Structure 1
Amino acid sequence: MLGLVGALLALILGMQGVYLNLSKADLLSEQIGMRALNVAKTVAVIPELVDAFDSPDPAAIIQPIAERIRAETGAAYVVVGNRDEIRYSHPVPERIGGRMVGDDNAPALIEGRSYVSLATGTLGEAMRGKTPVRRASGEIIGVVSVGFLQEKVSQDVGRSLYLGWLMIAASVLLGLTGALWISMHLKRLILGLEPHEIARLVNEKEAILQSIHEGVVAVNREGRITLLNQSAKRTLGIQDGRDFLGVPVDQLVPNSRLQEVLTSGERQFDRELWVGDVPVIVNRVPIFNPQGDVDGAVSTFRSQQEIRELYSALKKVSADADVLREQAHEFSNRLYTISGLLQLNQIDEALALIHQEGRIEQEEVRFVLQHLKNPVLGAMLLAKMNTARQKHIQFELDSNSSLEVMLTQSGQDVLLKIISNLINNAFDAVRERPDVVPRVRLFFTDLGDQVLIEVEDSGPGVDPEALALITQQGYSTKPGEHRGIGLALVQRIATLYAGDVYLEEGELGGACFVVTLDKMQISHADVMEE
């Protein structure tokens, strides 16, 4: 870049300098020629000089006049000759009386013209002004030739052009210095990277941004989106074909709060935010330019539900290990019991004990299939029943429960989230009262225009006036991190599907949460019409 800018600048200034200086040289040469001609015209009309042509010795009168004028004007020579081109004056006195050389006197002597010529005389090549000498009657009696040596003219022109060339050189030097400064400034701005390195880094950054699991949104100083990776699009529910680059971020995420970061320049970490019906954990960081001003901001976020599920999964792994140890000990005791019965030849009692476990699980499966038409929800409830047995919790499914409606995919997901979160909260609540038999009861029905879900537990209960507080994102009555998400998610989903969350007094002594949903919004329309 430096070489290109410097060469281009030097070429342009050089070409311009050559053109201007050549034009100026021609103009100066022309001016010197006109000066020689004007001096010649002045000499040709001196009365003394004209009258001297009729004297017996014209050179004696004309030579002093010519030399005086030559000295005053700085001309190389002032030569006066007659019609036969015989010199009456010359800077070298020995050449007076000789014939004028150059063969350029004819236009003055014959045609009577005044002109400038370039010819070679006895002193060398010169710029000469020539004019005829006339009597008062107009008769041409001689010629005056005033010359400036071409070598002297070139020197004068060179001295005159020196300043111009000096200014051009200074301009080129200044331009090269500016080009060097620009290249160094750009080098600093691009962190000393070459273009191919920048291209590689851009491609690497794009690949990294599109592959990470966290959503990334970047905005410029005006708050307009400049980057949106695939994870962010999935979280925000944006199809790949839609382009949101250049769109104000508040138009896509009204509560993004990135404008606060652009205004204050302060970082925000681990902030909670709802994106649609998804709770997320957000980090917001400003982008500063080299001058220290805020030039944009970047927000990264990840589903809080995913974090909670990961936390729950890790916790469940630890719990499952304890349960497996308990089950191993329990089954070991049962095997010893069966072995003892067989040794006592109590075969019927041993078979009854073996069939008892299988019968309990079969009854649970048959009960779920009778009350639930959706196999995914049924599988989830069977898993919760198994978890309850492992935790020694009495999990009851109300015999009047029924869900006959054909759910949409989104409706199925909604019920899975609501029922699973409510049951998990109930399991946690019953542990807080070790003096009471832990019990959880589930009831659901789709009679009427709504789907109703009711989860009751034997825990310590919740103050009805605190319902608004416990359904806020991040609030929890239980200690530890990653809390305060389940009920907030349930409340948000219920509101989204034209329902609500209620807290009632339960029969088991603890909390009783009731959730209602609009049946039309979670079921197939054609099934509803039938």
Structure 2
Amino acid sequence: MLVLQLAIVVVVLVAVAAVSLAQSAATFNRVEGRRVTALAEQLAGSQTLRFGIRHPAPAEVLAPLLQTTLTQSGVTSITVADVDGRIIGATNPTTIGDKMTMGDPRVAEGRGWSGELRVDEEQELVSQVPVLSQGTDLNNRADGSLGARIGTVMVGERSPSVLERLRGASSYLAIYLGIACLLGLLGSWLLARRIKRQTLGLEPREIVGLAEHREAMLYGLAEGVVALDPQLRVTLVNDVGRRLLDLPTDAVGRSLRELGIEGRLREVLAGEHDGDAARDAVVVRRGRVLVMNRMDVAKDGRSLGSVTTLRDRTELAQLERELGSFRSSTELLRAQTHEFANQLHTISGLIQIGEYDEVVSYVGALNRYRESLDLTVTRRVHDTAVAALLMAKSSVAAERRVELRVSERTTLQRLAPELSADIATVVGNLVDNAVDAAAQSGTPLSPAWVEVELRQDATSIEIEVRDSGPGVAPELAQEVFAHGFTTKAAAEGERGIGLAMIRLICRRRGGEVAVTNLDDGGAAFVARMSVQPLPEGAR
């Protein structure tokens, strides 16, 4: 950069010198051109000159006049030619008898001309004026008619050299150029030092290499990267980050507010949260479950902004949902095993003490309870997957001393497999959360309970799960889904994606999910989604 700046300074100085030369040349041509023209016109109108041109020995007659004029005027040369253009008198006697060089053919027709010509091996500014026969002035006779041309007068002034023009442009031009050169050198050196410090001592080619490596790294990552300055303006975002956040192509340079980023996403990107919230923060953004990690960037104690990485956990959440169903099945089998083991121990004890009639009564009671539960669920819920899920959840809830009830207003027909799976996911997550909340608040005097109600019409399905738990804190009621909390996490302040997945499924099905607190304690989660009935032939 220093070499480039010095080259620019030199070019500027050369340009200034060229302009000075051009101005000097223009001034010389204007001033001296007028002077030699005036002198040539004066000589052309002299009677002595007319007489000398017509004299048989013109050189002897014209020599004193030309020499005197040369001495008085200070011009370089004076030359007189006859009507044929042959030199008959000159301040340089060696040119007498030669042919005068005409600057313009119209001079032979009686016209004047001024310009530069090469005279005696030197470049001169000359003026050529015709000498007319009689007349009171240069162009007219006494009677007003134009006189006949009898010769030509040429007065010349030597053109100065480049060095002479530089000296003539200004007596201090060299000093000015020298001072300008020194200032340019000093300024270039100081500017180069400052840029060197700002670029951490890197040369331009090294900066280009870093930029190329940065681009390759950022756009080669499978994760999204978003960088913000201290004013929350986007300074960098790669293609993955732009896709995950659904940002426009001109997002760089715009603030979060201009991009329409609000709520939980803005809090994470801007760092408006408590310490650990910047690590693995779960955010739902337009149908995607995102995991975000934010880090502040500072240099020499000065904040430069922040960098946030984003990972799309939507597919992972789907896998977790599938794993959750397997885990739920495992828990169901374990709960049923525990329940059956208790019942077998009871039967075994009754047999050992000889209470055979009690064994029969006990087995009959168990059978009636199971048939009653099966009949209650299957009579109201005709979709086998959802019915099986509710019966399984009933065993798990009973193990935790929570009564799982199916509302009498429940009605659900058979569904398409994809919709049935989504309904089962929503019901399973809501019931699990409700059982967790109810189990924490149950007492012998106030048994814990969870009630499920499924309502279906021609276009939609509504799922409502009520519990006897402590309810949801009012400040979390509107944010719990957007923040990705589960009901248990809402009480403990941890993060999860259970309710976030429920909202994602509902919105994908054209619905929504909401939570309200019951008057007598507990919470009610209501999920709605559209439904496409199974064709008649498949029912």
Question: TM-score, normalising length from structure 2?
Answer: 0.51
Q: Distance in 1 between matches of 2:90 and 2:452?
A: 141
Q: Deviations over 1:217-260 (max 9, x none)?
A: 989999999969668867x8x7xxx9786799779867448899
Q: Deviations over 1:75-111 (max 9, x none)?
A: 2233568899555865xxxx5xx77153218999997
Q: Distance in 2 between matches of 1:160 and 1:14?
A: 17
Equivalent pair of 1:114/1:132 in contact (CA under 8 Å): yes
Secondary structure of 1:72's counterpart equals helix
Q: Distance in 1 between matches of 2:90 and 2:288?
A: 115
Q: Structure 2 vs 1, CA of residues 161 and 63 (structure 1 numbering), >3 Å: closer, same or farther?
A: same
One-letter identity of the residue aligned with 2:414: M
Q: Structure 2 vs 1, CA of residues 301 and 472 (structure 1 numbering), >3 Å: closer, same or farther?
A: farther
Equivalent pair of 1:130/1:146 in contact (CA under 8 Å): yes
* Structure 2 residue 53 is matched with structure 1 residue 45: no
Secondary structure of 1:75's counterpart equals coil
Residue 413 of structure 1 corresponds to which residue in structure 2?
Answer: 422
Once the two structures are superposed, the pairs formed by residues 121-140 of structure 1 within 5 Å of their partners are 121=120, 124-125=121-122, 127=124, 129=127, 136=134
Residue 531 of structure 2 corresponds to which residue in structure 1?
Answer: 523
Residue 67 of structure 1 corresponds to which residue in structure 2?
Answer: 67
Residue 99 of structure 2 corresponds to which residue in structure 1?
Answer: 103
Q: Percent identity between the aligned chains?
A: 15
Residue 204 of structure 1 corresponds to which residue in structure 2?
Answer: 217
Q: Structure 2 vs 1, CA of residues 204 and 70 (structure 1 numbering), >3 Å: closer, same or farther?
A: same
Equivalent pair of 1:217/1:300 in contact (CA under 8 Å): no
Equivalent pair of 1:220/1:297 in contact (CA under 8 Å): no
Q: Structure 2 vs 1, CA of residues 284 and 200 (structure 1 numbering), >3 Å: closer, same or farther?
A: closer
How many positions carry a matched residue from both structures? Answer: 461
Residue 426 of structure 1 corresponds to which residue in structure 2?
Answer: 435
Q: Deviations over 1:106-142 (max 9, x none)?
A: 9999977766684655xx4464545566675778887
* Structure 2 residue 505 is matched with structure 1 residue 480: no
Equivalent pair of 1:216/1:301 in contact (CA under 8 Å): no
Q: Structure 2 vs 1, CA of residues 272 and 120 (structure 1 numbering), >3 Å: closer, same or farther?
A: closer
Once the two structures are superposed, the pairs formed by residues 176-325 of structure 1 within 5 Å of their partners are 194=207, 197-208=210-221, 211-212=222-223, 255-256=262-263, 267-269=271-273, 270=277
Question: What's the offset of the Cα at 1:42?
Answer: 1.6
Once the two structures are superposed, the pairs formed by residues 162-173 of structure 1 within 5 Å of their partners are none
Equivalent pair of 1:85/1:99 in contact (CA under 8 Å): yes
One-letter identity of the residue aligned with 1:73: S
Q: Distance in 2 between matches of 1:113 and 1:382?
A: 124
Q: Structure 2 vs 1, CA of residues 379 and 155 (structure 1 numbering), >3 Å: closer, same or farther?
A: same
Equivalent pair of 1:28/1:157 in contact (CA under 8 Å): no
Q: Distance in 2 between matches of 1:277 and 1:523?
A: 19
Q: Deviations over 1:428-480 (max 9, x none)?
A: 443455777976555545488975655555xxx548xx885674545989853
Q: Structure 2 vs 1, CA of residues 496 and 81 (structure 1 numbering), >3 Å: closer, same or farther?
A: closer
After superposition, the CA RMSD in angstroms is 7.6
Residue 518 of structure 2 corresponds to which residue in structure 1?
Answer: 503
Residue 155 of structure 2 corresponds to which residue in structure 1?
Answer: 146
Q: Distance in 2 between matches of 1:452 and 1:126?
A: 106
Residue 508 of structure 1 corresponds to which residue in structure 2?
Answer: none
One-letter identity of the residue aligned with 1:206: Y
Q: Distance in 1 between matches of 2:203 and 2:107?
A: 79
Question: What's the offset of the Cα at 1:205?
Answer: 1.9
Equivalent pair of 2:131/2:150 in contact (CA under 8 Å): yes
One-letter identity of the residue aligned with 1:102: D
Q: Distance in 2 between matches of 1:89 and 1:191?
A: 67
One-letter identity of the residue aligned with 1:503: L
Secondary structure of 1:148's counterpart equals strand
One-letter identity of the residue aligned with 1:427: D
* Structure 2 residue 84 is matched with structure 1 residue 77: no
Q: Structure 2 vs 1, CA of residues 528 and 423 (structure 1 numbering), >3 Å: closer, same or farther?
A: farther
One-letter identity of the residue aligned with 1:480: E
Q: Distance in 1 between matches of 2:95 and 2:525?
A: 131
Q: Deviations over 1:164-223 (max 9, x none)?
A: 9x99xx89x98x979x98x969x9699966556535533432343xx33x7969899999
Q: Distance in 2 between matches of 1:233 and 1:110?
A: 85
Q: Structure 2 vs 1, CA of residues 469 and 484 (structure 1 numbering), >3 Å: closer, same or farther?
A: farther
Q: Structure 2 vs 1, CA of residues 394 and 479 (structure 1 numbering), >3 Å: closer, same or farther?
A: closer
Q: Distance in 2 between matches of 1:302 and 1:277?
A: 11
Secondary structure of 1:102's counterpart equals coil
Equivalent pair of 2:297/2:307 in contact (CA under 8 Å): yes
Secondary structure of 1:405's counterpart equals coil
Question: What's the offset of the Cα at 1:60?
Answer: 8.6
